[in-house]
Amino acid sequence: MTSDGVADERRGGVRVIAPVRPRKLAKVPFVELSEGRLQGVVSSGSDVSRVYVSSITAGDHGLSCNTNNNRPCGGLSGSHACNHIRALVDAAVAQYGLERVARYLKAEGGDDLWAALHPTTAPSRAAEVFSSFLRHLSYLEVPPTTDPLPELHWFPAAGVVR
């Protein structure tokens, strides 16, 4: 959240989502804070057509990591995070900033997110997360439009001043 104050509650154009920060996408092409999870997709180091689908639940910090064919990740054991989940968290912090990620996960407590996380195991969410990723990618295939879209006056582009 980028703003505060009573005046902002009465402003139509107030910015609610801080624009995401640019980051490299090759290793972790997709990260989102959604449906009570930090979730995303991590490219496999060895197979270009394989990805790992990883998530951490907000509050309980339940970890899950599977391939896109729904095979469990060999690196994830119990509450010990695999490299994919670590890469996911690093990408999320790069994209959203530590504060927003920590607040969403309810893991607030200083500069070290891992110190504030108390991971457990969680059921696989691979199917939901992977379909969310495919939906994300499908935006690149939505045709452009020349419709006047008047509601975009409520959504100014990411500003030079933040």
**Footprint on this chain of other proteins (rule: CB under 8 A):** 1, 3-17, 19-20, 22-26, 29, 33-36, 43, 48-49, 51, 58, 68, 95, 133-161
Three-state secondary structure string covering 39-62 = EEEEECCCCCCCEEEEEEECCCCE
Among residues 85, 43, 83, 50, the alpha carbon closest in space to that of 64 is found at 85
Report the Cα 34 to chain-centroid distance in Å: 7
Report in angstroms how near the CB of residue 72 gets to other proteins at its nearest. Answer: 20
Pairwise CA distance, residues 85 & 144, whole Å: 34
Report in angstroms how near the CB of residue 34 gets to other proteins at its nearest. Answer: 5
Instruction: Identify which of residues 118 and 154 has a Cβ nearer to other proteins in the complex.
Output: 154
Among residues 55, 53, 17, 18, the alpha carbon closest in space to that of 38 is found at 55
Instruction: Identify which of residues 21 and 80 has a Cβ nearer to other proteins in the complex.
Output: 21
Report in angstroms how near the CB of residue 39 gets to other proteins at its nearest. Answer: 12
Instruction: Identify which of residues 78 and 145 has a Cβ nearer to other proteins in the complex.
Output: 145
